Amino acid sequence: MKPDFDTMSIAQLRAYLLLHRNDDEAFYKLADRLEASSEDTDLYPIPDTPENVAIMEVAIQEHVKKLEEKRKS
């Protein structure tokens, strides 16, 4: 009998999937949950061209600046 994946937290789903690596249903449920929880996440291009490297450098600098401001607060 499989557990109810809808009631499991993401951490519980990960733990279950580590023990049941061939359970496709659990894998897809976890993937769906992770995708749904990442809607507010910024996505950046792979730094494989000079332009994309520049984009990543700016993003990293902005993130570091936010962390420093947060630390000062």
Give domain limits for the chain: 1-41, 43-73
Return per-residue pLDDT of the chain as tens, 73 residues: 889 999 999 999 999 999 999 999 999 999 999 888 877 778 788 999 999 999 999 999 999 999 999 998 8
In order, the DSSP letters of the chain are ----GGGS-HHHHHHHHHH-TT-HHHHHHHHHHHHHHTTT------S-SHHHHHHHHHHHHHHHHHHHHHHH-
How far does Cα 63 stand from its chain's mean position?
Answer: 16
pLDDT recorded at residue 42? 80
